[in-house]
Amino acid sequence: MKRSIELLKQNNELRVIEEELDIYLEIPHLAYAEVKKEGGGKALLFTNAVDKKSQKKFSEPVAMNLFGSYKRCELLFGRTIESVADEITKLLHMKPPSTMMGKFSMLGELFSLKNIFPKKLSGSGACQEVKYLDDTIDLYKLPVLTTWEGDGGPFITMGQVYTQSLDGSMVNLGMYRLQVYDKNHLGMHWQIHKDSSHFFDQYQKAGKKMPVSVAIGGDPLYTWCATAPLPYGVNELLMYGLIKKKSAKLVKSLTNPLYIPQDADYVIEGWVDPNEMRIEGPFGDHTGYYTLREPYPVLEVSAITMKKNPIFLATVVGKPPLEDKYMGWATGKIFFPLLKTTAPDLLDYHMPENCGFHNLIIAKMQPLYKGHAKQFMHAFWGAGQMSFVKHAIFLDEKAPSLENYEAVTTYILDRFTPKSLFITEGILDALDHSSPEALVGGKLGIDATSANRVEAPELLGDEELLARVKSVVPDAKELHQFMRRTKNPVTVISIAKTRNAKKYFDALLELSNHLRVVVFVDEAKNDIFNPYMLLWRVTNNIDALRDIFISGLMVGVDATTKNMLDDFTREWPDDVECTPSVVASLKAKGVWDLDENIYQKFQL
């Protein structure tokens, strides 16, 4: 980790915070503000972390926002992201050579691949210089952060979780949040669809305890590899070898059979009893909402080891933009060639960070026949982690750059009709809160590959349209029309909800000459002139089977908070928000320098 910190420092990508700051809210709040700055701000190194509650001072610094810019991603990768994607493409298209020179060239390429495989070392590693066993085990010796006031406790947020199958034939590296319950127990938030959960099922059926080791720090690329969407059974550390051109060097954990990187800053070892579950959460997650309290497996810690002078790595999650914006950018670029093996006519795709990645994908394809886009939707919804995507929009090869949101939105709205919609049901991420039941819900696809003939509405100004809307929907409070120059303007209406939104939509049908796409949001906590955060709210809050209404040329979208008016019986979580007194304290200490306009824009 120290090499990476020095690399960032040399490239003017590091901000050192020497002020004494608390691991409870203060450090994560400041990191949350930093990543909201233009370009992701700087990486942060907190050199004076304390736990005011227990009056403890930590000797190790806390590092955050390491991946929080495009530049820092490539610095930590040691190469351009495009070069990694090109290499994967080349491997996937490798063909038997026809000439002797070609054979020698291929031999060289194949020989270099030997470095991608992790290498197990004998003896101990730097990660085991300091050992805590038995009664000396204490997770509170680590500067584990509590990010949000509503969190269930401190959480490890950048842990590399190493597991293996029951027979030891497969290993997995994943990243899951880990709640600190007490000095020797961690909550294992591996969701039901994740590889570690599949392994856990094997141990549970066999009635055996499952070994788990959690590494923190070391080469930051280990942490990125933990997020890599590789197929089931493929060791994520192979990506480390492919990118770095050298093997990840591993040593055996002290108290279980798992191998971990020898240069990790910390290792937490233990065993998960398949018969023990404990309530985990709540936790303010990357959706921008708190995820709810639910039972998850528990890791009983059998050892904690670390370097003599470690650095604790953490991240902060909440409302976008976040550090995962940049990590997700790298992931999308690198794994595009693998996705094309499932969908060969795919030309490009983009997952906007303000939609939590899984909530929306925009894809460009080469349509070859009628219904091709719908076939693609099914392919996406059946391809690994892409199966968690809630909303997918497909465009043809003539569409503008997918990251030019203004141009892409115009392109979609000028060819959209209600018949472009495709609504189905499928699995959802465990963090999704909008569906009537957990883990499964509505999926929405939009086929914008065809240039449909579209009839534009009769436009009115916002004030006049609001007056007419209020005459039929008295609960309406504000209204704003986006993309008025397109054939399908988007009208956002904030309401003080007293009825199911379908009744509001039905009441608006008499104004259908002036409306095309109508989006309902709650009056509270929404700025109807802020498209970035509106898109965040809408993609989080809708279940397509329940919340999309169609009548003629009009489409309604209910992005309000769901309750008994909607026959919604699950608990609806709160937004993640900064604690005002903590922000005031950071300002008083002279370390909070976020522009107030940015604070308001991203609804901190």
Q: Is 561 within 8 Å of 582 (Cβ atoms)?
A: no
For the residues 481-498, what does the mean pLDDT come to? 97
Burial call 313-344: b when 16+ CB within 10 Å, e when fewer: bbbbbbbbbbbbbbbbbbbbebbbbbbeeebe
Query: What distance in Å separates the CA atoms of residue 457 and residue 489, rounded to the nearest whole number?
Result: 8
Q: Could you say which of 265, 285, 547, 566 is catalytic?
A: 285
Q: Is 418 in contact with 553 (CB distance < 8 Å)? A: yes
Q: How far is CA 339 from the centre of its chain?
A: 18
The DSSP string of 209-235 is -EEEEEEE-SSHHHHHHTT--PPTT--
The dihedrals phi and psi of 179, each to the nearest 5 degrees, come to -80, 130
329 and 301 both lie in a single domain: no
Q: What is the percent of the chain where pLDDT is above 70?
A: 96
Residue 258 lies in a domain: yes
Q: Count structural domains, the chain.
A: 3
**Residue 433: strand, helix, or coil:** coil
**What pLDDT is recorded for position 111?**
45
Both 188 and 245 in one domain: the answer is: yes
**Domain check: are 415 and 475 in the same one?**
no
pLDDT reading at 80 higher than 50: yes
Average confidence score pLDDT of the chain = 93
Same domain, 301 and 327: no
Query: What pLDDT is recorded for position 103?
Result: 44
More confident residue, 197 or 44: 44
Is 250 in the same domain as 298? Answer: yes
Backbone angles phi, psi at 72, to 5 degrees: -65, -35
Q: In the structure encoding, which two tokens stand for residue 328, read together? A: 């997700």
- Measured CA to CA, the distance from residue 156 to residue 283 in angstroms comes to 11
- 392: CATH: 3.40.1670.10
Q: Is the pLDDT of residue 402 over 70?
A: yes
Domain region containing 418: 323-333+344-448
CB 434 within 8 A of CB 543: yes
Same domain, 45 and 165: yes
pLDDT at 110: 44
Residue 58 token pair: 């930590």
Count of residues making up the chain: 604
Candidates 351, 487, 472; CA nearest to 412 is: 487
User: Are residues 279 and 208 part of one domain?
Assistant: yes
pLDDT, tens only, 501-510 = 999 999 999 9
540 touches 319 (CB < 8 A): no
Same domain, 179 and 44: yes
Phi/psi-derived region of residue 367, left when phi > 0, alpha when psi is between -120 and 50, beta in every other case:
beta
Asked if 445 and 392 touch (Cβ cutoff 8 Å), the reply is yes
What pLDDT score does 599 carry? Answer: 96
Note if the bond before 321 is cis, omega within 30 degrees: yes
Could you tell me which of 327, 320, 393 has the C-alpha nearest to residue 363? 393
For the record, the structure tokens of 153 come out as 């406790």
In the chain, the percentage of residues whose pLDDT exceeds 90 is 82
Residue at 594 is within a domain: no
User: Is 92 within the bounds of a domain?
Assistant: no
For residue 111, tell me if it sits in a domain: no
Look at residue 585 and tell me if it is in a domain.
Answer: no
Same domain? For 280 and 148 the reply is yes
| Mean pLDDT computed over 278-287 | 94
- Please, are residues 356 and 319 in contact by the beta-carbon 8 Å criterion? no
Which of 80, 87, 61, 58 has its CA nearest to residue 5?
Answer: 61
pLDDT over 90 (residue 57): yes
Give the DSSP H or E segment for 521.
Answer: strand 517-522
Residue-wise pLDDT for 544-585, tens only, equals 999 999 999 999 999 999 999 999 999 999 999 999 999 999
Question: Which pairing describes strands 391-395 and 361-365: parallel, antiparallel, or unpaired?
Answer: parallel
Would 528 be classed as within a structural domain? yes
**Residue located via tokens 């522009």:** 595
Report the C-alpha gap between 181 and 187 in whole angstroms. Answer: 7
Nearest one of 144, 189, 161 to 28, comparing CA atoms: 144
Question: Is 443 within 8 Å of 398 (Cβ atoms)?
Answer: no
Asked if residue 354 is part of any domain, the answer here is: yes
Residue 255 is part of a domain; what is its CATH number?
2.30.110.10
pLDDT of 167: 94
**Is 447 one of the annotated active-site residues of the chain?**
no
Query: Count of CB atoms within 10 A of residue 192's CB?
Result: 12
With 80 as the cut, is the pLDDT of residue 316 above it? Answer: yes
H-helix segments, 207-297: 220-225, 237-244
For residues 540 and 435, what is the distance between their CA atoms, to the nearest angstrom?
10
CA atoms within 13 A on the CB side of 350: 14
Give the confidence band of 113 by pLDDT, cuts at 50, 70, 90.
low
pLDDT of 382: 77
pLDDT at residue 383 above 90?
A: no
E strands within 84-170?
A: 119-120, 130-133, 155-156, 160-164
Please check whether residue 283 lies inside any domain of the structure.
yes
Neighbours of 230 (CB within 10 A): 18
**Coil/strand/helix, residue 79:** coil
Tokens matching residue 240: 């480390």
| Same domain assignment for residues 300 and 328 | no
Single-letter amino acid code for the residue at 205: K
Distance from the Cα of residue 107 to its chain's centroid: 39
Residue 598 Cα to chain centre, angstroms: 21
Answer yes or no: are the C-beta atoms of 72 and 34 closer than 8 Å. no
Same domain, 356 and 287: no
Say if CB 518 and CB 509 are below 8 A apart. Answer: no
State the average pLDDT over residues 248-264: 98
- Sequence-distant (6+) residues with CB within 8 A of 406 are none
**CB proximity list for 522: less than 8 A, separation 6 or greater:** 494, 495, 496, 497, 560, 561
Q: Is there a single domain that holds both residue 133 and residue 263?
A: yes
The pLDDT of residue 104: 43
